Amino acid sequence: MANRSVWSDNRFWQRSAAWVTGFAAILLIWLTFDTSMQISMGSDEDLKNGVTKRVPGPTVINYKITYEMDAKRGHEVPVIGEKELFFGRDDWSEEEAGALLHLGKLGSQAKNCMNCHTLLGNGAYYAPDLTKAWLDPAWGPEGSLQAMTGKPTKEEAMAEFLQHPSQYPTHERMMPNLGITAEEAKGLVAFLKHMSSIDTNGFPRNFGKIKGAVHGK
């Protein structure tokens, strides 16, 4: 039987399958350890010392966040700048900010945000992406959404909208009233601000940079 080929031999393929599967799984576990360390949340110390973390600590809500082109990395990255008031304060302690973020993250799941919106690009496609919603010019000082709610700051405008979404129809397709309380809305806005500070490798591209491209807007 000199002519029997290894290529049509079940045992060869069985052993190859076992090897490939096992080794790919080991690599994935190794990569998971490496990535887990890199995406663990930073601390207040890191923020004070200017240490860049892919996912900053919750006290990032005390700072101004912008989305800037990084020449070295070839895409935009969130940049944490000077102090900025968030609901009238810029001295949220690690515990307070952490509790607010916890409330907001729980709220984002309890209200099922992800089955209309996308978060970090994942979810449903019925409503705008929330990854960098905090940085959307529409919610800024000259933005139409902030003006619509009549509130003086971005965070208050967002919180007001979240509590009474169907009072502020922005489009034929409206956000339903989900029974979000004032405290929950505050938490959700903190969650959104924190999410905008996550280094998403440049996604979404050109966010909030383009004005007047369509219909001369």
Partner 1 sequence: MFEPFTDVIPSFFGWLNQGPLTLTIFLHTVIILPMIWIYFQEKKRIENEG
Partner 2 sequence: MASSTLNESKQLATWYFTFAFILFGAQLLFGLVAAIQYVMPGFLFEILDFSVARTLHINALVVWMVFAMFGSVYWLLPDETGIDTVGIKIGKLLYWIFVAAIAVVVLVYIFVQVGPADETTIWFIMEGREYIEAPRWADFGIVVVALGFVANLFLTGIKGKQTGIVTVLMADMIAFAGLYLAGMFFTDNISVDQYWWWWVIHLWVEATWEVFVGAIAAYGLITMIGAHRKVVEMWLWIEVAMLFGSGILGMGHHYFWIGTPEYWWEIGALFSALEPLPLVAMFVHVLYDWGKTQGAEMNAEHTDEDSVRSVIQNKPAFTWFVFNAFGNFLGAGVWGFFHTLPQVNLYTHGTQFTSAHGHLAFFGAYATILIGMMYIAVQGKNNIKVMNNTKSSIWAVSLIVGGVMGMTVALTIAGYVQVLVSRAQMGATWAGYFDGQAGMWFAQGMDWRLIMGVVTFLGFLLLAKDLLTTGKNPVHER
The residues binding partner 1 (CB under 8 A) are 1-2, 4, 6, 9, 11-12, 15-16, 19-20, 23-24, 27, 31, 34, 37-38, 52-54, 72-74, 199
- Single residue of 45, 70, 73, 182 touching partner 2 by CB under 8 A: 73
* Residue 217 contact among partner 2, partner 1, none, beta carbon within 5 to 8 Å by kind: partner 2
3-state class of 34 per DSSP?
A: helix
Our finding on whether 4 is near partner 2 (CB under 8 A) is no
Residues 6+ apart with CB under 8 A from 7: none
Stretch that binds partner 2, among 43-51, 82-90, 149-157, 190-198 (CB under 8 A): 190-198
Instruction: Provide, rounded to whole angstroms, the least separation between the CB of residue 57 and partner 1.
Output: 15
Question: What is the spatial distance between Cα 12 and Cα 103, in angstroms, rounded to a whole number?
Answer: 54
Our finding on whether 93 is near partner 2 (CB under 8 A) is no
- Single residue of 61, 104, 155, 193 touching partner 2 by CB under 8 A: 104
Backbone angles phi and psi of 68, in degrees to 5 = -120, 150
Q: What b-and-e string marks burial along 95-111, b requiring 16 or more CB atoms within 10 Å of the CB?
A: eebbebbebbbebbeeb
